[in-house]
Chain A
Amino acid sequence: MGKYILKRILLMIPVILGVVVLVFTLMQLTPGDPAQVILGTTATDAQIHELRQEMGLNDPYIVQLGRYMYDVFIRFDFGTSYISNVSITLELAQRFPKTLIFAVSGMILSLVIGIPLGVTAAVHQNSMADYGSMTLALIGTSLPGFWFALVLILFFNGKLGWLPAYGIGGLKFWILPIASTAFAGITTMARQMRSGMLEVIHSDYITMAKAKGVKKRSVIYKHALPNALIPVITVASMSFGTSLGGTLIAETIFAIPGVGVYIVNAVNNRDYPVVQGGVILLAITFSIIMLLTDLLIAAVDPRVKAQITGGKKRGKKK
């Protein structure tokens, strides 16, 4: 297992290098000039050329890429923003925890609420509980996130005055943003769990367990659930990764300075170092999450574990 983890960590290196090269190249190919963004519309071509020279943007692509990779991987320096001149490392250090709060809380809520909802719906298929939870799931996936966020603000802040409408601070400030982003996640998870569970509970081994007189509770939670969880874990980890960079709407509405807003603004301003720094951070985080997901699946699914360990344990037993 240790060897597998080490191998996966080493594999992250080419992945991150690939991401850096890809993002750098895409930004270079995208129309728009950071020098023009900085200097504004009244800048003359001569002034733009001079600034581009200062910023090193007139150098050949390969020189710029090499310089950037040297700074990031040798000097561990993401550089400073073209627009604000603020250190990108510092900015990411301030913003990333907030995005992480979003992603982790959203994930926890999705799992804690979505899984029981899905299991209940599957176990009581075609019952009121099933229809109820699936209708809720349908509403959750259909509602536009920004609309739901605004309704929550109007109700819990405007009408009841219980929760702050925007800003950051204590726990209270996080309730509405997290609720608005987690709702869709909960319902997606419930749907996924239901379909996974339905597939499993109609399997022969479940019928066998029931026939052998195993208690219903035990059949569901000991035999069916672990197997039904495998696709759910994959979906959950993917949605966790997506939410790391995809909380833009919630960040905008609730005035939360996260990584999503930072990267999108940087893309609009052609602030190359910020985009690259942000994407590298997300790529590393995503790679780690994928590794943890694989390990979790291995822990749940003996077949995967056997693949990872090369079937050594089984061999030894023989």
Chain B
Amino acid sequence: MVGKKVRRLLAVLLAGTMIVSTAACGGKGGTDSDSSKEGESGAASQEATAAKGEEGALVVGIYGGLDSLNPWTSGRITKDMVTYVLYETLASCQSGSKNLDHILMKGYEKVNDNTFNVEIYDYVKDAAGNPITASDVVFSFEQYMQNWATTVESVKAADDYHVELTLNTTAAGAFEYIVCKVPIASEKAYNDSPDKFASTSCGTLPYTVAGGEDYVNGTKIVLRKTGTYWQTDESLIYPGSVANADVIQFDILEEPTQMALAVEEGRIQFAQYIDPSLLDEVSAKENLELCMVPSSEDRGIMLCMTEDSPFYDNLLLKQAVLYAIDNEAVAEACGYGYGSPSIVTCGNADLTIGYDSSWETKPYDYDPAKAKELLKEAGYDEGELHLRLLCNNNKTITTMWQIIQANLLNVGIDAELNVCEGTTYGSYRDGTSGQYELAYAGPGNGGYATSDLWNTLFNRKNYASGATWAGAKDEKLQELYDKLAAPEGYTQDNVNTFYEYITENAYYYRIYDLPEYAAYNKEVVSDYFVDWNRFIRANTIVVNK
């Protein structure tokens, strides 16, 4: 009797759980009736916004906190998404383009191979009305250099509106990179700030954060339009400096599902990032639109080239490993249908200056039979070689390496995968650490390869060991790099020669490409501007009235 009752009770409880789950998940259907509910849920969320009741408030979801609003301290890309809506740089440049768009900078002249004389406009003012002079530019650079590795040798004010910038490199892109990167602010405003810009801001863009309720670290940041902008000549206003919404609220949503739900249900109008696993679900919503941003992370693998590595002076083995990798399967599994296998060994068609379509030969395309053959020729029988693989614990990257591990096992290479938390991985990634034979490498990839991608991967001068990132000490490789980084050395011929050399020698292999996707409500948002080809500037988002 009791047993029967228990079974009934259990059935009722389980049914109840199912009903609750189904009812809750039912909201994802995207039907017309749901849109009426959006208003109700929106009403609840509006209480969370400091912008409650204000006309033109735009709520943008970002996937990470900032720790501080200080524009010069280090942080993730999410910090850029907020910083560059408050502070301007001397110039800007779209990744993949050689052209500088001037912002605070009126112009510049090259004094010699690594010294530049930068002139700023003489009427720049910040949100508090403080004039921005050359000494403020110097101050901003110095603040930045305390927190970031730069190529700046020295920065001096020549007069009120001229700054002399000397770099420690002649490599193409170094000047462009730094003038586009350092946020400029007034030294006086910084000193007047009660907490040194930690929870308040005072940049040259017409938005400020007042602190208090407007800055809740880890939850939200509210930016309010000041109404005045120093650049009055409309023809000179940089497209990324326009101020559209009166109030911009950044909601910090680190949990990917929460971000997707927030944009689906109208709690936010713009999600700066949608996890690949949720893209299908988001794109199925009629009122939502996906927006693709090229990923600045080159998703590739490095082969350890130190003397004790099996790859040292064994090109056939390197080639065998690369042929063993099914990059199409990796792209499919990691990108949930939104990734694509790489057709080059290095570089991105949208981002890398000097990228040449002649590179698109699908080098080392998946061929397990050839991999087995090469492995034998390299002197290894099946099961004889043991490799240690290293990657970070990012979900997508871990998936990539699990497939690579399976691919290697498939051709008879025993592979052990070491998945590390980000910082540990960062310290093991140096080839001379002796921690791996194959490792994930995700160098930045934008603009000139000598200021980013190839500089990180192959410039031995960066590392105290005197070897490349993966531990190679190839004189020819450095010679080719130096030629590329020499003044006027960034020519298409030199770029191609360098690319061919690293491809032939299998130093690095880009596995797949996975762009990043933002999502927005197309009934609310009508336009936006993607800056540096890396992120959408919230201040440029046009909200339908």
Tell whether A pairs with B: yes
Q: Interface residues, chain A, CB within 8 Å of chain B?
A: 30-33, 36-49, 81, 83-86, 90-91, 94, 126, 128, 131-132, 135-136, 139, 146, 150-155, 157-170, 172-173, 251-253, 255-257, 261-262, 265, 268-270
Q: A167-B220, A173-B48, A257-B219 are in contact. Are A158 and B37 (CB under 8 A)?
A: yes
What's the A-B contact tally at a CB cutoff of 8 Å? 204
Within 8 A of A (CB), among B266-309: 267
In the bound complex, do residue A40 and residue B148 qualify as a contact, i.e. CB atoms below 8 Å apart? yes
Nearest CB of B to A48, in Å = 8
Question: What B residues does A83 contact at CB under 8 A?
Answer: 67, 73-75
In the bound complex, do residue B73 and residue A150 qualify as a contact, i.e. CB atoms below 8 Å apart? no
In the bound complex, do residue A255 and residue B253 qualify as a contact, i.e. CB atoms below 8 Å apart? yes
In the bound complex, do residue B258 and residue A135 qualify as a contact, i.e. CB atoms below 8 Å apart? no
Nearest CB of B to A175, in Å = 11
In the bound complex, do residue B73 and residue A167 qualify as a contact, i.e. CB atoms below 8 Å apart? no
Q: Which of B43, B67, B220 contacts A81 (CB 8 A)?
A: B67
Nearest CB of A to B477, in Å = 18
Question: What B residues does A38 contact at CB under 8 A?
Answer: 74, 147-148
Question: What B residues does A153 contact at CB under 8 A?
Answer: 24, 258, 261
In the bound complex, do residue A139 and residue B13 qualify as a contact, i.e. CB atoms below 8 Å apart? yes
Q: How far is the CA of A139 from the CA of B21 in the complex (A)?
A: 13
In the bound complex, do residue B443 and residue A41 qualify as a contact, i.e. CB atoms below 8 Å apart? yes
Check: B257 CB closer than 8 A to any chain A CB. yes
Instruction: Jot down 10 A-B pairs with beta carbons below 8 A, ordered by A.
Output: A36-B423, A40-B149, A45-B463, A45-B464, A81-B67, A84-B67, A85-B73, A86-B70, A126-B2, A146-B255
Question: What A residues does B217 contact at CB under 8 A?
Answer: 91, 94, 257
In the bound complex, do residue B424 and residue A164 qualify as a contact, i.e. CB atoms below 8 Å apart? no
In the bound complex, do residue A150 and residue B257 qualify as a contact, i.e. CB atoms below 8 Å apart? yes
Nearest CB of A to B476, in Å = 22
Question: What B residues does A90 contact at CB under 8 A?
Answer: 195
Q: A39-B74, A166-B48, A265-B67 are in contact. List 16 more A-B contacts (CB 8 A).
A: A33-B423, A36-B427, A39-B148, A45-B465, A46-B464, A81-B67, A83-B67, A126-B2, A131-B9, A132-B13, A135-B10, A161-B41, A164-B45, A167-B216, A255-B252, A268-B422
In the bound complex, do residue A159 and residue B73 qualify as a contact, i.e. CB atoms below 8 Å apart? no
B42 to A, closest residue via Cβ: A161
Q: How far is the CA of A181 from the CA of B426 in the complex (A)?
A: 33
7 interchain residue pairs of minimum CB distance: A257-B218, A161-B40, A43-B149, A45-B464, A32-B423, A154-B24, A84-B67
Q: How far is the CA of A252 from the CA of B465 in the complex (A)?
A: 40
Q: How far is the CA of A81 from the CA of B285 in the complex (A)?
A: 42
In the bound complex, do residue A161 and residue B37 qualify as a contact, i.e. CB atoms below 8 Å apart? yes
Q: How far is the CA of A160 from the CA of B257 in the complex (A)?
A: 19
Q: How far is the CA of A49 from the CA of B149 in the complex (A)?
A: 11
In the bound complex, do residue B456 and residue A41 qualify as a contact, i.e. CB atoms below 8 Å apart? yes
In the bound complex, do residue A163 and residue B196 qualify as a contact, i.e. CB atoms below 8 Å apart? no
Q: How far is the CA of A90 from the CA of B216 in the complex (A)?
A: 13
Q: A136-B13, A157-B41, A165-B267 are in contact. Are A42 and B456 (CB under 8 A)?
A: yes
Q: How far is the CA of A167 from the CA of B421 in the complex (A)?
A: 28
In the bound complex, do residue B44 and residue A128 qualify as a contact, i.e. CB atoms below 8 Å apart? no
In the bound complex, do residue B251 and residue A167 qualify as a contact, i.e. CB atoms below 8 Å apart? yes
Within 8 A of A (CB), among B68-82: 68, 70, 73-75
Check: B428 CB closer than 8 A to any chain A CB. yes
Question: What A residues does B536 contact at CB under 8 A?
Answer: none
Q: How far is the CA of A52 from the CA of B468 in the complex (A)?
A: 22
A45 to B, closest residue via Cβ: B464
B469 to A, closest residue via Cβ: A41
Q: How far is the CA of A220 from the CA of B218 in the complex (A)?
A: 47
In the bound complex, do residue B427 and residue A84 qualify as a contact, i.e. CB atoms below 8 Å apart? no
Q: Which of B21, B66, B421 contacts A151 (CB 8 A)?
A: B21
In the bound complex, do residue B44 and residue A161 qualify as a contact, i.e. CB atoms below 8 Å apart? yes
B168 to A, closest residue via Cβ: A44
Q: How far is the CA of A29 from the CA of B257 in the complex (A)?
A: 35
Q: Which of B41, B75, B255 contacts A158 (CB 8 A)?
A: B41
Centre residue among B44, B253, B265 by max chain A CB count within 10 A: B44
Check: B65 CB closer than 8 A to any chain A CB. yes
Question: What B residues does A152 contact at CB under 8 A?
Answer: 24
Check: B515 CB closer than 8 A to any chain A CB. no
Nearest CB of B to A285, in Å = 20
Question: What A residues does B32 contact at CB under 8 A?
Answer: none
Q: Quick one: CB contact mask for B238-274 with A, threshold 8 Å, 1 for yes?
A: 0000000000000111110110011001010000000
Check: B335 CB closer than 8 A to any chain A CB. no
Question: What A residues does B255 contact at CB under 8 A?
Answer: 146, 252-253
Question: What B residues does A139 contact at CB under 8 A?
Answer: 13, 17
In the bound complex, do residue A155 and residue B20 qualify as a contact, i.e. CB atoms below 8 Å apart? yes
B252 to A, closest residue via Cβ: A255
